[in-house]
A and B are shown apart, each in its own frame.
Chain A
Amino acid sequence: MNTGVKTYDENEKPQFSETTMAEVKRVIGLFPEGKQKSALIRILHIAEEEFGGWLSVPTMNYVAEILNIQPIEVYEVATFYTMFNIDKPGKVVLEVCRTGPCMLVGSDNIIEHIENKLNVKVGETTADGMFTLKTAECLGACGYGPMLQCGKTYHEHLTTEKVDELLDTLRKEHSTSSNS
């Protein structure tokens, strides 16, 4: 479980782009009249993607408004599910699976290697705001471990060399893109 709602920026006024709003409406339409709250989790994923990888209080209030539910109903859900970030993470979030089957094939070494390489501990973000290192519980890739998830992508059969390569690629990809 996440720990709680912390950050609040009154000046931030989130607004989905037109295409995203169309997608949000499609998702709401998957449920019967009056059951629009069922779309909440999907919309929170969409909101994270649109608004810099996390859910600020204004973002959550905005989602509540769209679904015509109370803000507290959104906070409750956003703090229950581990995938949602209540604090702003780095540009790139690395989630290394730490559960049994991955541990049997060396996830401990992978986590340690990334910690050393990036000079952070699990849960921390690098000083340049580029990487946040997290651990995750079994991600359904146990036969292809060690593995880590980055965004929607699974990186499997990891070795320390592959991790180094991946970090380089990610750094290049994201140092040019702006941090929204």
Chain B
Amino acid sequence: MGRKLLLEHVNVPGIETYEVYRKNGGYRSVEKALKTMSPQNVVEEVQASGLRGRGGAGFPTGMKWSFLAKPEGVPRYLLCNADESEPGTFKDRYLMEKLPHLLVEGMIVSSYALGANQSYIYIRGEYMFVLEIVEKAIAEAYANGWLGKNIMGSGYDLDLAICPGGGAYICGEETALIESLEGKRGNPRIKPPFPAVKGLWGCPTVVNNVESIAAVVPIVNDGGAEYAKIGIGKSTGTKLISASGNLVKPGVYEIDLGLSVEEFIYSDEWCGGIANGKKIKACVPGGSSVPILPANLICKTAEGTDRLMTYESLAEGGFASGSMLGSGGFIVFDEDQCIVRNTWNFARFYAHESCGQCSPCREGTGWMEKVLRRLEYGQGNLRDIDLLEEINKKIEGNTICPLGDAAAWPVAAAIRHFREEFEWHVTNPDEAQKRNFGIASNHMPLV
């Protein structure tokens, strides 16, 4: 365990500069691809690798690439999604801050594979300091002939630029990202047409997460088959996990997919266990949009098998007893945390971030926030819990983009697993108004 494909050189001093990055094997994949492979060969290696999109949905990257429309005489675009706004997720920032050239290198190889001559990295506006680091790396890549006209005499031209957003979670959704990149409000588009057919400025476009694009570098260097050897089943390769919450060592870790959840949380090599000698109460393993797991379903599935860090294992049990790997935003709650407060907090996030285009999402997220707020502050009644479930059903599946679902599902999961805690807030209003719940959910064993 513990192979590093992306973060291998992360601690090398000066690795953010071109010279050091190059000395450590940087830009080899560009040499290899442009000199010895056709664009189609690169796509095939990515297909063989089994790489799945690291932005959250886990859609196979090679397959997505193969869907790109290629009408004659129309430019194609590759857009890198560096919007990273899903609560609990901070891995893309880490990668870009520490290894900006890895992203630039990945962008070049991936753009070559897709036949794009102009590519953009869209980064959230708050990461302006990271934008400056990546922009410097792009300038260095131009200066050393890895970008621009006729790269390495191959006849392939590529221009690359990085553009900031302005603070809007919704711009992580790929069609909202495209709108934003066109200089507009980040309102998601109705699909179809999909970006692969009509994306940026009406042209065929691929949108990929930072980590997905970085992973193309080792895939091209070592071959897709070699990459696919890591992991289990359809969860191949390594994954960056952003670990936060009440852990001894929160931070960004590169794990082999297939590591056990228990080892990830408790081993000293990774998160080192729960902070302050406390016990674990719950975990949101894949960013705020995925269902919360109570203590007894974190390290084990409902069947009693070990829960692994893979797309499949984390989802085992479906919505009844499972969750999702999502973006890898692994949030851990200790025994003192209040599930109602956190559910309200996340609901407030979605209400704040709804773009407002569809009524079920715009109104529904607002209502959920209000109802949860009154429950958290001991002003709710028992019917409110059912009301939340009703609002949920009205949002689910009735919106233009998945933000509506992303807002609804975590609330449903919290109620499913912690209904007694919601009820407790109604029956103990005075206690509930105090900030910390303090009492571990009494029907669940702590681990």
Chain A residues proximal to chain B, CB less than 8 Å: 1, 30-32, 35, 37-42, 44-45, 67, 69, 73, 76-77, 80-84, 98-101, 103-105, 108, 136-145, 149, 152-154
Asked if A38 contacts B244 (CB within 8 A), the reply is no
Chain A residues with Cβ below 8 Å from B331 are 100-101, 104, 142
> Can you list 27 A-B contacts (CB < 8 A)?
A30-B163, A41-B125, A45-B128, A73-B183, A77-B183, A80-B168, A81-B125, A81-B165, A81-B167, A81-B168, A83-B166, A99-B346, A99-B349, A100-B284, A100-B345, A100-B349, A104-B245, A104-B342, A108-B435, A137-B87, A137-B352, A138-B89, A139-B126, A142-B87, A142-B242, A142-B331, A153-B129
Q: Which of A45, A142, A143, A152 has the most CB of B within 10 A?
A: A143
Chain A residues with Cβ below 8 Å from B128 are 45, 152
A149 to B93, CA, bound (A): 15
Q: Which of B85, B183, B250, B333 has the most CB of A within 10 A?
A: B183
Q: Which of B118, B161, B182, B345 has the most CB of A within 10 A?
A: B345
Chain B residues proximal to chain A, CB less than 8 Å: 84-90, 92-93, 118, 124-129, 161, 163-169, 180-186, 201, 242-246, 250-252, 284, 288, 329, 331, 333-334, 337, 341-342, 345-346, 349, 352-353, 356, 435
Chain B residues with Cβ below 8 Å from A45 are 125, 128, 164, 166
Asked if B345 contacts A145 (CB within 8 A), the reply is no
Asked if B435 contacts A100 (CB within 8 A), the reply is no
- Given A83-B166, A142-B331, verify A137-B201 contact (CB < 8 Å): no
- Given A38-B182, A83-B167, verify A101-B245 contact (CB < 8 Å): yes
Asked if B118 contacts A32 (CB within 8 A), the reply is yes
Which one of A39, A40, A137 lies within 8 Å of B349 (CB-CB)?
Answer: A137
A140 to B185, CA, bound (A): 22
Of all A-B residue pairs in the complex, the 7 with the closest CB atoms, nearest first, are A81-B166, A83-B167, A143-B250, A37-B183, A40-B183, A142-B244, A82-B167
A144 to B245, CA, bound (A): 9
- Given A45-B128, A140-B84, verify A100-B288 contact (CB < 8 Å): yes
A19 to B252, CA, bound (A): 38
- Given A82-B168, A83-B126, A140-B93, verify A145-B244 contact (CB < 8 Å): yes
Asked if B342 contacts A1 (CB within 8 A), the reply is no
Asked if B349 contacts A142 (CB within 8 A), the reply is no
Please count the residue pairs between chain A and chain B whose beta carbons lie under 8 angstroms apart in the complex. 149
Chain A residues with Cβ below 8 Å from B341 are 103
Asked if B242 contacts A38 (CB within 8 A), the reply is no
- Given A80-B168, A84-B167, A104-B331, output 12 extra A-B contacts at Cβ < 8 Å: A1-B356, A45-B128, A67-B183, A77-B183, A81-B165, A83-B125, A99-B346, A101-B331, A137-B352, A142-B89, A143-B250, A152-B128
Asked if B90 contacts A141 (CB within 8 A), the reply is yes
- Given A81-B167, A100-B288, verify A140-B342 contact (CB < 8 Å): no
Asked if A42 contacts B163 (CB within 8 A), the reply is yes
A64 to B201, CA, bound (A): 20
Chain B residues with Cβ below 8 Å from A136 are 126, 167
Q: Which residue of B lies closest to A32 (CB)?
A: B118
- Given A83-B166, A98-B345, verify A152-B129 contact (CB < 8 Å): yes
Asked if A41 contacts B165 (CB within 8 A), the reply is yes
Q: Which residue of A lies closest to B243 (CB)?
A: A143
Q: Which residue of B lies closest to A137 (CB)?
A: B349
Chain A residues with Cβ below 8 Å from B352 are 137
Chain A residues with Cβ below 8 Å from B86 are 138
Q: In angstroms, how far is the closest chain A Cβ from the Cβ of B300?
A: 23
Chain B residues with Cβ below 8 Å from A44 are 166
Asked if B93 contacts A144 (CB within 8 A), the reply is no
Chain B residues with Cβ below 8 Å from A105 are 244-246
